[in-house]
Structure 1
């Protein structure tokens, strides 16, 4: 079995992608799997044409790796690959659309509004921000409507912080999603498999000395992780069921990670779904895999073998 890992790309998350690719390659090689790691460049289609019986594992983060574009190219090339197919990836990539899909299934998500940068210029930024605060109150979470790794995300606890948060958000995209900031226990649940055969890895609890932003995620020291999460049995079951529901109704395949807040009433409030979660040493899915009764190498090899079917 040959595995071609695609890592790198040109998004803001290139460095994280390269680290993810190297780490997954190491673990698979320890299992005796033949692995090649390649960037996405002009050599790609030639490499794919020579990949007879192998599997591609795309580990690109950001737009080209998660918005369905790369998946569509792999489908055009007729190769087998790990992960969600292009159509479902396009839906999952746009946060407000994803919220609408899993929200129809009764999955709770914080109340939100999505607004383009152009509207702030046309109507007047201060008036729009006043309307946002009047409608949702404080605190607020401001984030790009598309994107990952918490790039462009801000927590706003005072009206005076909102303008800077919007500027920061629009540096990463033309559409902002502003949502009620729910308080509670921050949890990430990773899901392995497809459809009714999907299973959840142990939930990971995240305790951060401030916003769980890009710096906190990929630079050690600011975050404490608890795996499994320090939850009562019933709460653990609820967050697990929420993640499995999102994975199934979104039509996701092979692996995903669902980020949520377990609010003070014991209700999972889903924040985001990731079809290409980070796989670095500090990333959440690998931490959950280490806490699983199975060996992490067994889990990763199982992901690859499932893509052969």
Structure 2
């Protein structure tokens, strides 16, 4: 008999609206599969809701803080409810882009050069002095990120020196630490990985936007970005990227599914930007597109993710 599934969605992060769309898509797929399921908008009463509904398996459709960072995963483990995707540690590591980059560097996996700047230290120096320190160690253009946010929230692309201070200010609205990363100019490629002990990379996707930047608007507005499958690179390059994606997946201890984002420079060298342990499942999302290219329609993809969650 199929376990009753709770689609955990919404939540309290800035990515709430995207999570609701992901959750709705997952719920509809479960209905097509004939699986007993209920949507749960995650709030402070989430434990009570799970118990009231008799949830036996949680499908995590949450994005951002409290959903991808290990918090909900730890809560579910405490109350004995299995869930989809990665565990507490892998979720926490992948959610923090700085921690991810440190792990990638330790494993010898390529990632753009970066600096981390804590807000308190920057306040002591002053934002302008901090900017000068960055310029002494890195060259323009740069990318400044809020390291624990997703969906490009709190991100700035810095092409002029005058823009760095405002970029830091934006990052500090969301996090106590800012990630300053060397901008890689080239192709944007994403690799969707599916599995547990023997994960595999699905067909790669090249992302091309009408705006030139794959930001929040381009990600979630139909028509502002194109997903090119296969990407316009050699098969050899594709295999290299797939291998790096699986290695990154394993390095962080991921399970179930994850999406690994890359930039390729003009020489074709791949650099890992980040790992997303709960990738979007909306109509414009990348992971479902990669699965379809592999011949896996959306309901079957959801079914596979559920089965991976129940593997010991």
Which TM class, normalised by the smaller chain length? over 0.9
Q: Is the 8 A contact 1:49 1:77 kept in 2?
A: no
Distance 1:88 1:289 in 2: 23
Partner secondary structure for residue 80 of structure 1: coil
Q: Specify which of 160, 172, 188 is matched with residue 174 of structure 2.
A: 172
Change in 2 beyond 3 A, CA 1:283/1:29: same
Q: Deviations over 1:145-185 (max 9, x none)?
A: 21111001111111111122112222221210001001121
Change in 2 beyond 3 A, CA 1:306/1:137: same
| Residue segments in structure 1 that go unaligned for 5+ positions in a row | none
Aligned to 1:122: 124
Aligned to 1:205: 206
Aligned to 1:229: 231
Give the TM-score, by structure 2 length: 0.94
Q: Is the 8 A contact 1:187 1:229 kept in 2?
A: yes
Distance 2:239 2:64 in 1: 30
Q: Is the 8 A contact 1:92 1:273 kept in 2?
A: yes
Matches within 5 A, 1:253-268: 253-268=255-270
Aligned length: 308
Distance 2:53 2:85 in 1: 17
Q: Deviations over 1:236-257 (max 9, x none)?
A: 1111111100101110010101
Q: Indicate yes or no: 2:288 matched with 1:303.
A: no
Distance 1:53 1:37 in 2: 11
Distance 2:207 2:88 in 1: 30
Distance 1:230 1:299 in 2: 25
Residues 45-54 or 62-71, more deviating: 45-54
Aligned to 1:144: 146
Distance 1:50 1:164 in 2: 47
Distance 1:165 1:306 in 2: 40
Give the TM-score, by structure 1 length: 0.95
Q: Is the 8 A contact 1:71 1:86 kept in 2?
A: yes
Q: Please report the RMSD computed on the Cα atoms of aligned residues, expressed in angstroms.
A: 1.5
Runs of 4+ in 1 over 4 A off after TM superposition: 50-53
Aligned to 1:277: 279
